[in-house]
Structure 1
Amino acid sequence: MASPIPTRAHNQTRRPLVLIAVMISMFMAAIEGTIVSTAMPGIVSDLGGFSLYSWIFSAYLLMQSVTILIYGKLADLYGRKPIFLTGITIFLVGSILCGLATSMVQLILFRLVQGLGAGAVQPIATTIVGDMYSIKERAKIQGYLSSVWGISAILGPLLGGFFVTYSHWSLVFWMNIPLGILAMIGTGKYLHENIDRKHGAIDYGGSLYVFFGVSSLMILLIQGGTAWAWLSWETLTLGGSACLLFVFFIVRERQFAEPLMPIALWRSRLVATANIASLTNGALLIGISSFLPAYLQGVMEQTPVVAGFALTVMSIGWPIFSTIGGRLVLKIGFRPVAASGGVALIAGALFFVFMTPDKGPVWAGAGSFLIGCGMGLTNTTFIVAIQNHVDWKMRGIATASNMFMRIVGSALGAAILGGVLNNQLFRYLAAHGQKSHSIDAANVLLDHEKRGELSATMLHLLQKGLSLALADVYKGVLLLAIGTLIFALLLPKPNFSHKK
């Protein structure tokens, strides 16, 4: 198999410097999740719109899911560098706009722009690493990349809590600007590709099917049971539309000369199993990172900084076990490593299922740590397995397909679990004679000063309702963890005969 970057390009490319630039870009994308999650209660208390809480995450993830396959295909056709730099530029424009938002609706729209650029950042960064390093080196380098997630998970919640408490939440988005510029300089100057750029048709029509299909499903899951009855014409129409659009997408991919999601990839048991497991992983992760700060601040009455610490400990387990997993896959195979990660995810999910307000942030932190261990073992295994399984010409789209499934999982997870939260809180308030209060009444719980103005009775009612609603969210997280374990056990034995 030919080397992914020809020898002449290897001589020109300064791998350590490119790796640093790639790690900075991944840090920028990684910290976006943890820092926004911790800052969200403060953002909601400022802009209002608790019922739109999950859309801040869903909008970002939706646009990522739509564009990630296009970027992966473009990277295979025209090279990694130009597409990567374009994605970072769009991401930075979206970040600037997010910081200028004056309402939740504006913030959601600007998060769409941010997601449009983010679709290129993480998958192409991972692909660049796959190009520069061999299979044995990749397993080791994955540990370095995972350390980026660890550092971002430590700094993200702390910075998010710090900005909200002592400055303004807009800095959560504007801090991306210097990071993005550094990543662009490093990649633009030191990454040299020597490839034959090809011209091929990009399946933009297929991406529209994905966009409208995922959008329809997300709106249904968030609004169903609250704004609309489950058997209303709105939910039935959206559900039917989503199914038809996904069918159209599959049919189109079979017929299109250069599809976004080559069906041949899915004929591989390893790729298909790893991708489906990544779907459940993405949904599970968003369920913890999105809603844990709301529980700690709204129910346990902890500060944003403490909520950030509880989420941060996920980072301790993630890079450690990602490094361990990267070394173990070459010795004992993909399946045992991924299955061990699935067990850790279940253990972490159980901590959240049995979490009560009196257990405090230490209990939440223990659950986060176990989730981090599981994520480190499973995500590293899936990426290394897939990149080893395909050659250079398919590596961009193969890597993008795995990222796509994880992001779609996160988008759907945010929608499903957000719908569960809204639905259960709505039912609880109605059952206790508070039909006059909408779900947005929970805004008050996320603001320390406003919370202090509530009567003891109303405070208890809202906290109890939010606690019970989030308990159902964590039951969903447990089911997703079980799903990841099942698919991990279905992974085939590895074939390390694949070269670079």
Structure 2
Amino acid sequence: MPSLTTHRPLVLAAVMAANFMIAIEATIVSTAMPQIVGQLGGLQLYSWVFSAFLLTQTATTVVFGKLADLAGRKTVMLVGIVIFLFGSILCGFAWSMPSLIIFRLVQGVGAGAVQPTAMTIVGDLYSVHERAKIQGWLASVWALSAVLGPMAGGLIIQHFSWAWIFWMNLPIGALAAAGFWAYLHEKSARGGGRINHLSAAVFTIAIAAIMADLTAVSTSGEFEIGVITVVAVVAVALFVIQERRSPEPMISLELWGRRPIAAANGASLLCGMVMIGLTSFLPVFVQGVMQKSPLIAGFALSSMVLGWPVGATVGVRGFKRFGVRTVLRTGGLLVPAGAFVFVVLTAESSPVAAGLGSLVVGLGMGLLSSASIILIQEIVDWSERGSVTASFLFARSLGSTFGATVFGAVLNFGLFRSGHAGNASSDQLRRLLERGSVDAGGDSGLRAALEQSLHMTFVSMFGIALMVAAAAFLVPRVVFAARRALAE
């Protein structure tokens, strides 16, 4: 019979394993998608393999955050891992692109439970000063997954079936679940009340419809967009009505409206927009405009992934000396400082400059994210910590979806108004990107049009980055307790 004492190091190991399972999924699936499409077909549904996962993950994050406050972290975490692994098994057996997309929806539900609950568990077990070191370790998990994901995906595709990119989650998830089952013993009383299932269902439908609508703008026809928009508007209206009459609302307006939480969540949403803009368009600029190889483009972008954990680690070490708000504001300033580099990039610029800009943005996001999580978790009770953590992650995911739509629209507008790109086909753009450094000449007109359009995109991204800094400076001064008892 296991001891009723929570073993923090072993629970932390389980948290890192669960986070690694979620983090590596994105990079490893990206590597294997060409082979998956080659076998299953459905190239026109390519983007939905990623959108489906993000859609349900974002839509259920807040629901599971609320459940973690009401039913306990351990229960929600174990349920989330089971759902994620079940979805992984199904993905490996997918026989067509539509079936794979449906199974990715299941995976996303599991991720929506695991990620916020894992961060909430860390907030329960470690005081604000102890968490300084822990946040650096957790951030390193995402950097490690970014490095190992493409390597693991390439090896699996080369030597095994693509199904194993999903099935490899099984041993990782099983070990994480065993760690939580055996070593996590919650001492706090669970939050009072119960979850309103109707509110949860309507909220999930509303967020899913909003995200699907944003995604459909660039992938679907007018009829599909119209139908999804109607569903989104009706679902949002029903959710507002239901929340006003519910004694146990899904979203506490009082909680979300507190100035520190509202400012941190606003900065998180805007950071999500900058992050997706950089992820989507920096490789295109390096390959299509600078005419460098995909490998160099990958290195320029990976600087952000590496800068994030470095920023988190350095920032948390400065909490005691400078204060959480100072670290958070410093991160907010670094994001536009790094984003400005992309505004001044030209075709003749060195990709090293792009990498440095990416690094500075990553450092800023690492500082801001780690400080924000600690700040919002410390100012709420145990019974609200799951909800407030989920709200922060929800804001970042929603920001990524908004960013993909906004920056995509800016790019399309730039190409449309360009004299050369008006007649450019997607095949011409693809060939320009594929040439890389092999043919530096390429189509000079199309290359110039792409440079102009991406410049507009980077300018708009810099504007959003300035708003990140503004939101960070809205965070008020907060005084933390010197120590907090284990799991309160």
- Deviation of 1:87 after TM superposition, in Å, equals 1.0
What is the aligned counterpart of 1:269 among 246, 259, 277?
A: 259
Partner AA of 2:170 in structure 1: I
Q: Is the 8 A contact 2:215 2:401 kept in 1?
A: no
Could you report, residue by residue, the CA deviation over 1:289-344 in whole angstroms, capped at 9, with x for unpaired residues?
Answer: 34444555666666655444333322332222212222333433333222211221
Higher relative CO (Cα under 8 Å, sequence separation at least 6) belongs to: 1
1:321–1:376 Cα change, 3 Å:
same
CA drift of 1:19 comes to: 0.6
What is the alpha-carbon distance in structure 2 between the residues aligned to residue 97 and residue 358 of structure 1? 47
Shift in Å at residue 118 of structure 1?
A: 0.3
Q: Tell whether the 8 Å contact from 1:41 to 1:293 is kept in structure 2 after alignment.
A: no
Q: How far is 1:207 from its partner?
A: 3.5
Partners of 1:480 and 1:169 in 2: how far apart?
Answer: 38
Q: Which amino acid aligns with 2:274?
A: L
How does 1:8-27 map onto structure 2 within 5 Å? 12-27=5-20
Aligned to 1:338: 328
Contact 1:157 1:309 in 2 (8 A): no
- The aligned counterpart of 1:190 is 183
Which of 58, 64, 72 in structure 2 is aligned with 1:71?
A: 64
The residue that corresponds to 1:259 in the other structure is 249
Structure 1: how far apart are the matches of 2:241 and 2:458? 36
With the length of structure 2 as denominator, give the TM-score of the two structures.
0.84
Pair 1:82-2:75 in alignment: yes
Distance 1:109 1:316 in 2: 32
Deviation at 1:146, TM superposition (A): 1.7
Residues 142-201 of structure 1, C-alpha deviation per residue, up to 9 Å, x if partnerless? 122122223223333444566668877655444433322221222222212245557854
Flag the 1:78–1:445 CA change in 2: closer, same or farther, 3 A: farther
Q: Which SS does the other structure have where 2:478 is aligned?
A: coil
Q: Work out the number of aligned pairs and report it.
A: 483
Contact 1:222-1:416 within 8 A present in 2 as well: no
The question of whether the paired residues in 2 share the 8 Å contact of 1:279 and 1:405 is answered with yes
How much has 1:70 moved relative to structure 2?
Answer: 1.7
Match of 1:381 among 371, 375, 378: 371
Tell me if 1:210 matches 2:164: no
- Once the two structures are superposed, the pairs formed by residues 66-145 of structure 1 within 5 Å of their partners are 66-101=59-94, 104-145=97-138
* 1:38-437 matches, cutoff 5 A: 54-101=47-94, 104-160=97-153, 171-196=164-189, 200-224=193-217, 239=229, 242-243=232-233, 245-293=235-283, 295-296=285-286, 305-359=295-349, 361-421=351-411, 431-434=421-424, 437=425
* SS of 1:134 mapped into structure 2: coil
Letter in 1 for 2:343: V
What SS class does the counterpart of residue 258 from structure 1 fall into? Answer: coil
Scaled by the length of structure 1, what TM-score is found? 0.82
Alignment CA distance shift 1:123-1:97 (3 Å): same
Determine helix, strand or coil for the equivalent of 1:123. Answer: helix
Change in Cα spacing, 1:149 to 1:227, as seen in structure 2 (3 Å) is closer
Counterpart for residue 496 of structure 1: 480
- Structure 1's unaligned 5+ residue stretches are 1-8
The separation in 1 between residues aligned to 2:95 and 2:455, in whole angstroms, is 32
| CA drift at 1:491 | 0.2
Q: 2:138 is aligned with what amino acid?
A: L
Aligned residues with identical type, % of pairs: 46
The 1:296/1:210 distance shift into structure 2, 3 A limit, reads farther
Mapped partners of 2:421, 2:414: distance in 1 = 10
- Please report how far the alpha carbon of residue 261 of structure 1 lies from its aligned counterpart in structure 2 after TM superposition: 1.5
CA distance in 1, matches of 2:282, 2:116: 26
Cα offset, 1:78, TM superposition: 2.0
**Paired residue secondary structure (2:271):** helix
Change (3 A) 1:55 1:116: same
Alpha-carbon distance, 1:279 to partner: 1.1
Instruction: Check conservation: 1:279, 1:410, Cα contact below 8 A.
Output: yes
Aligned-residue CA RMSD in angstroms? 3.9
